[in-house]
Structure 1
Amino acid sequence: MIRLATAADLDAVATLHTEARATYYRGHVPDADFLGPEEVARARAGWAAAVDRGAVLCSVRDGAIAGIAAYGERDGLMHLTQLHVLPARWRAGVGTELHTACVDAWRAAGVTTARLEVFERNERAQAFYAARGWLPDPETPRDGNHLVLRLTLGPETE
């Protein structure tokens, strides 16, 4: 089931985000960059603001949050800013379910193009997005240690 996150979900959302990020950042960037108290507090504040805006979707499985996604418009373009699945739920359709919900919401809002950034070492996520039609952004294919991907929404996309 997909639903909007509420303030009551904030602890679970922040914990899932931290756990998921650790799977792809560990060994590639200093732990403090994703596990340090300042970063955890910054991320939690970001999630709290996104939840308050009604911009966070949750996938709920067996009564618990299994995945989260957040998106919003920036500089006139829709951005998928977060999509994380609890590692214990990988390969169970949670990410696909969240991605489909995002794309459906974008289409309903008349969005024709979306953008995201994915850590260059996160090959699992890159394969996930490629399988759903995301391609390198022709204008800005990189941003630091992240690849920038773009999805054009048409009748054949998801």
Structure 2
Amino acid sequence: MIRTAVPADAPAIAALHQRARATYYPDGFPDGDTPELWQERWTRSILRPRAHVLVCVRDGELVGVASFRRPDEDPHGTTVVLFQLHTDPAHWRRGIGTELHTACVEQWRVDGMTEALLDVHRDNERAQAFYAAHGWRGPSTGSGHHRELRLGLPRE
């Protein structure tokens, strides 16, 4: 089941986030990013106006999360930014990421979005393959640790 996150979900989301990031950041969270700090960040994201945090719950367990919003510099535009989409690694290959992605795209269309953006870590080949399979495109080269990907959202 996909539902909107509530503040009480923040500890479970932060823990899931840490497990997911550990698969492509060998040292876990960057220096100074504690689980408590991520709980606070997730709570702020959940409560942020015009932001969306969706969770996937299966058999009473939170197994996936996605967060998105319009960019701060263009809060009334038709572009949305996908900031996080994580599936608990213990639940990979069960369709959770696709289910969350589909829920995001449905919400973006309802909201009148025409384009979605995201940054993916260059070392996260699994995520890059997932996004490519779902129609995201971006440059194959660039600098830094992230690649920007775009997804066009034609109006129906």
Normalising by structure 2, we get a TM-score of 0.87
Q: How does 1:1-158 map to 2 (within 5 A)?
A: 1-26=1-26, 31=27, 34=29, 36=31, 38-40=32-34, 41-53=36-48, 55-74=52-71, 75-76=73-74, 77-136=79-138, 142=142, 144-154=144-154
Higher relative helix content: 1
Contact kept in structure 1, 2:22 and 2:29, CA below 8 Å? yes
Distance 2:135 2:153 in 1: 9
List structure 1 segments (4+ residues) > 3 angstroms apart after TM superposition: none
Offset at residue 137 of structure 1 (A)? 5.8
Greater mean deviation of Cα atoms: 108-117 or 53-62: 53-62
> Residues 116 and 143 (structure 1 numbering): CA distance in 2 closer, same or farther, change over 3 Å?
farther
Distance 2:66 2:134 in 1: 15
Contact kept in structure 2, 1:17 and 1:84, CA below 8 Å? yes
Give 3-state SS (helix, strand or coil) of 1:133's partner. coil
Give 3-state SS (helix, strand or coil) of 1:34's partner. coil
Query: C-alpha offsets along residues 63-117 of structure 1, whole Å, 9 cap, x if unaligned?
Result: 1100000001113331000000000110100000000000000000000001000
Count of equivalent residues: 148
Greater mean deviation of Cα atoms: 44-53 or 147-156: 147-156
Normalising by structure 1, we get a TM-score of 0.86
Q: CA RMSD in A?
A: 2.0
Which structure 1 residue ranges, 5 or more long, are not aligned?
Answer: none
Distance 1:67 1:95 in 2: 7
